[in-house]
């Protein structure tokens, strides 16, 4: 299992967390997504490495930015 972490900026509430989890969870290959609102930490787990650009694009689609 591969794990990658990112810092997401702009999240202010539980709905923000849900939006990021939903968009990142749709990226092909992603098995598990965790988002911590307080730290902005996004943890992505997958069976094989997932393109960081795809994760960044998914976060942007949700309305936020990867720091």
pLDDT at residue 24, as a whole number: 98
Cβ neighbour number for residue 8 with a 10 Å cutoff: 24
Residue pair 37/20 in contact (Cβ under 8 Å)? The answer is no
* Confidence class for position 53, pLDDT limits 50, 70, 90: very high
- The string over 41-64, giving b where at least 16 C-beta atoms fall within 10 Å of a residue's C-beta and e elsewhere, is ebebebeeebeeebbeebbeebeb
pLDDT digits (tens, 9 = 90+) for 10-49: 999 999 999 999 999 999 999 999 999 999 999 999 999 9
pLDDT at residue 45, as a whole number: 98
Predicted TM-score (pTM) of this structure:
0.94
pLDDT at residue 47, as a whole number: 93
């Amino acid at each position: 299992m591969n794990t990658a972490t990112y810092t997401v900026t702009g999240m202010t509430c539980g709905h923000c967390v849900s939006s990021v989890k939903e968009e990142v969870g749709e990226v092909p290959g992603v098995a598990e997504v965790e988002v911590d609102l307080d730290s902005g930490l996004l943890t992505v787990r997958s069976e094989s490495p997932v393109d960081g650009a795809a994760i960044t694009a998914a976060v942007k689609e949700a309305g936020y930015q990867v720091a």
